[in-house]
Structure 1
Amino acid sequence: MECEMKEGEMCVKREYAKEWLDEAELELPELERSLREVWHVNRYLGGNPALYAHMEKMVAKVDGGKVRVLDVATGLADIPVALLNWRGLRGRHVSISCVDIHPQMIALAAKRTSGYPEIEVSEADGTALPYDDNSFHIAICNLALHHLDEQQSVKLLSEMNRVASIGWIVTDLERRRLAYWSAKLLAGLVWRSPVTRHDGPLSVRRSYTASEARELLRQAGIAGASVHKHFPFRLALVGHG
């Protein structure tokens, strides 16, 4: 996929080097430490607000009953836990199914959600979800798209679109020069996990630009889906059932 880059934005081509989270069998304590640092990035640097901004409109379309949510590539399942206290779902009956392809992630997510009967955790591949069409009202995926190549990304988007009756949201980083140097700064001054220090800047270089994200939607053949930019350096790919 060719990349449209403006002067000062980032390397011309998307990086394909593997992140440590993808290629190494990490010890569970180190994996959990890194994922918690990622969670703080989500919480304080725009990841969660970008998700909530689009999800709130979708939740409003669920007429009574239980709101069924799917979280793909759930990691520590911090977002599902946060959703139970989010104002957009407060007071609603909700069930959240969390899936991840990595057994280590599933073990950590199951531990994290053991006290939440509304949350179910299982192992599944986001590019081949084991659910019927329209099994959920809303499907979400955060910070996983950049881990995939273009073909896998198209499959993920197609699967999200297939299983969600009301809509789906995929949020991720936006590949920009300033985003990369911001990640380098965090790696040098804030993050303590060597995994996060390595993967954080690389994640930006592996991420898509807005134009590349639109091309993924075109290849997936999803009519009416759109790409939104959020501060700072976040993309939200949004589709409606």
Structure 2
Amino acid sequence: MLSWPAFDQRAVHEEEIMDDFSVVDDRLETALRDIRITNWLLGGYGPSHRALRRFMKPARPHHILDLGSGSADYPAHLVRWADAQGLDVRVDALEANPVTADHARAYLDQALPGRLRPRVRVITDDVFTYTPDQGTRYDLAHAGLFLHHFPDAELIALLKRMHTLCPHGLVINDLHRHPVAYASIWLLARLLPTSPMYQHDAPLSVRRAFTQDELMRVVHRAGYASAEITWHWAFRWVVQAHPTRPALP
């Protein structure tokens, strides 16, 4: 039965099952599948694509660092979309959980045609300690449904690091903490044939998510000189943040 929690602050001290790296069985693979289905059903990819597009220039290649990629569904959709737009986009999908990273590689092998598969590289590493290979330079960072996993202090440190690694901009696509969003995902998770892990984590993700002021406060405290936020269905905040200017040189 649906309990009715408080929404006045983020539930950052309650843990999602997916954050437990000891969960390596079929529960993880099924939950990753459920996330992909929900993102597709609720239009979660398009807002990220459109926000990233504002930073891009057609005449040059773009290298994007995707944070906490999970099964790399955002990078897969991004390179397909970019190819259709005539844009040269390559993505490094950063994922700390080695088992999830293996699922991501398998998913990309199935989801992308052979000519696009090399455009996404899955890297198993922690976002707080990741050091790019010598010669690797990123233009932009993207965080899709990732930031709500961290308390504010860790978020600020993370975004400051992105400020250094991806100097031209950052796009955040994350959840809006709202009672309607919570009730809707609770119901959807039970109407669809989703896993118990997803049924636990999806509503909790909403409770761990952000109000507009909370998310913008974190972005500004991380040192981004300019940022704008827009609301998208279904209950998503999309932030476009840049240290100095909105476009690549």
TM-score range relative to shorter protein: 0.7 to 0.9
Partner of 2:246: none
Partner of 1:71: 66
**TM-score, normalization by structure 2:** 0.84
Query: Is the 8 Å Cα contact of residues 95 and 119 (structure 1) preserved in structure 2?
Result: yes
**CA offsets, 1:36-83, max 9 Å, x none?**
111122222132122122111112x3x634221111111101111112
One-letter code aligned to 2:224? I
Partner of 1:20: 17
Query: Is the 8 Å Cα contact of residues 79 and 90 (structure 2) preserved in structure 1?
Result: no
Unaligned runs of 5+ in 2: 244-249
Partner of 2:87: 92
Residue 171 of structure 1 and its aligned partner are, at CA, apart by: 0.8
One-letter code aligned to 1:127? F
1:41-52 pair list within 5 angstroms: 41-52=38-49
Query: Is the 8 Å Cα contact of residues 82 and 88 (structure 2) preserved in structure 1?
Result: no
Instruction: Select the residue among 215, 218, 221 that pairs with 1:219.
Output: 221
One-letter code aligned to 2:102? A
Query: Is the 8 Å Cα contact of residues 134 and 162 (structure 1) preserved in structure 2?
Result: no
Q: Distance in 2 between matches of 1:48 and 1:11?
A: 26
| Runs of 4+ displaced beyond 4 Å | none
Residue 192 of structure 1 and its aligned partner are, at CA, apart by: 1.9
CA RMSD of aligned residues (A): 2.4
Unaligned runs of 5+ in 1: 1-8
Query: Is the 8 Å Cα contact of residues 128 and 155 (structure 1) preserved in structure 2?
Result: no
Residue 24 of structure 1 and its aligned partner are, at CA, apart by: 5.3
Residue 193 of structure 1 and its aligned partner are, at CA, apart by: 0.7
1:168-179 pair list within 5 angstroms: 168-179=170-181
Query: Is the 8 Å Cα contact of residues 67 and 142 (structure 2) preserved in structure 1?
Result: yes
**CA offsets, 1:188-213, max 9 Å, x none?**
21142111000011110011111111
Partner of 2:121: 120
Residue 30 of structure 1 and its aligned partner are, at CA, apart by: 2.1
Query: Is the 8 Å Cα contact of residues 134 and 164 (structure 1) preserved in structure 2?
Result: no
Q: Distance in 2 between matches of 1:46 and 1:36?
A: 15
Counterpart of 2:184 in 1: which secondary structure?
helix
Residue 87 of structure 1 and its aligned partner are, at CA, apart by: 4.8
Structure 1 residues 39, 140: CA separation in 2 closer, same or farther (over 3 Å shift)? same
Query: Is the 8 Å Cα contact of residues 128 and 158 (structure 2) preserved in structure 1?
Result: yes
**TM-score, normalization by structure 1:** 0.87
Answering whether residue 205 of structure 2 is matched by residue 209 of structure 1, we say: no
Q: Distance in 2 between matches of 1:50 and 1:237?
A: 10
Between the aligned residues of both structures, percent identity stands at 29
1:110-149 pair list within 5 angstroms: 110-114=105-109, 116-131=117-132, 135-149=137-151
Q: Distance in 1 between matches of 2:53 and 2:192?
A: 31
Residue 27 of structure 1 and its aligned partner are, at CA, apart by: 3.2
One-letter code aligned to 1:159? R
Query: Is the 8 Å Cα contact of residues 187 and 197 (structure 1) preserved in structure 2?
Result: yes
